[in-house]
Amino acid sequence: MMNSKKSDFVKFEQVDKSYDGKELVVKGLDLDIAEGEFLTLLGPSGSGKTTTLMMLAGFETPTNGEIYFDGRPINNIPPHKRGIGMVFQNYALFPHLSVYENLAFPLKVRKVDKSEIEERINKTLKMVSLTGFENRMPAQLSGGQQQRVAVARALVFDPKLVLMDEPLGALDKNLRESMQYELKHIHESLGVTVVYVTHDQGEALTMSNRIAVFNDGKVQQLSGPNELYETPVNSFVASFIGENNTFTGTVKEIASGSAKIETDSGETIVANPIAVSSSGEKSRISLRPERVSIDPNEQLENKFTSEIREIIYHGDHTRVRVNLLGNDDFILKVPNASSDLKLNVGDKLDLGWSSHDCRALDY
């Protein structure tokens, strides 16, 4: 990112939000969003992510704290004067206006010249591959086309910031995935700052520069997609992002950068002590399925024998569920192209993994 761009283009400073004066749905939020960034707010329903977006849009007011946009406080500025583009899940197109008129609306409100209106609309429709659809009514468009119009309307007045609230949630799987790439490419070509809300972790990992994982009104982790997946800082993030095998146990020893943890089944696992610091602590151990080796070599600190419970073919890989150390839902992913293993339910399977890939997190 260029040095001239602001690292705190959008800033939340100790922001709380309560709807009833008692319970906080957003708690003490400190969040800086860089200019030109694609930041996703990710989390389950009720985690505070949508409320955070609505406060930035101006549809909700913080109970405490201040929000800044491009260096100015905006808590008391109404939504239509913030200069922010908005895309909703239900598209929110005007049904009685054509595609052209829908796109012209935010430009007319801003008193843009008629000649420039036409130029901007043509340019924006080209960007979302809808040239020639100017005279169509929203009801004459498919869901994907309506969503493109909604994106175009949010971009046509050249805002510095665009907010998207689960914009792909109503689309089918294939269309949703192709739209993810389209939005990513539009963002890259325009350099506009995007704040995007979703509960779909795959969508977040595909599109974002950084992801803020929300739970219980707080950001649990703010990282790039790779870091979020590979190095979750707590049990919630580990379980919410990607597939995850877990064991629970008690720390017996921490030394030389690793922890020995006695599982509830009585076996000892050597793990990376991310969120434990002393013996006697309870811990939840996190391990990604793809980090597990079959017939492990001598270098791996953790080696155990499992029993195959279920085998499911997934095209590029086979998903194998085994019983391991009392966990009957331990998952392996075996690549089909590189594996000539003959697997059968009931077979014993020797497994192993590195202590570095196995993270001792909070209980």
Q: Report the alpha-carbon distance of residue 44 to residue 166 in Å, rounded.
A: 12
Mean pLDDT on 209-236: 95
Q: What percent of the chain has pLDDT over 90?
A: 78
**How confident is residue 338, by pLDDT bands cut at 50, 70 and 90?**
low
CATH superfamily for 10-235 is: P-loop containing nucleotide triphosphate hydrolases (3.40.50.300)
Residues of the chain with CATH 3.40.50.300: 10-235
CATH 2.40.50.100 fits 243-361, yes or no: yes
What pLDDT does 339 receive?
65
Residues of the chain with CATH 2.40.50.100: 243-361
Indicate the pTM of the whole model.
Answer: 0.90
**Contact between 221 and 236 (Cβ < 8 Å):** no
What pLDDT does 138 receive?
94
Residue 2, pLDDT > 50, answer: no
C-alpha distances (whole Å) from 96 to each of 92, 114, 135, 148, 150 are 12, 21, 12, 17, 15
pLDDT digits 0-9 by tens, 50-60: 999 999 999 99
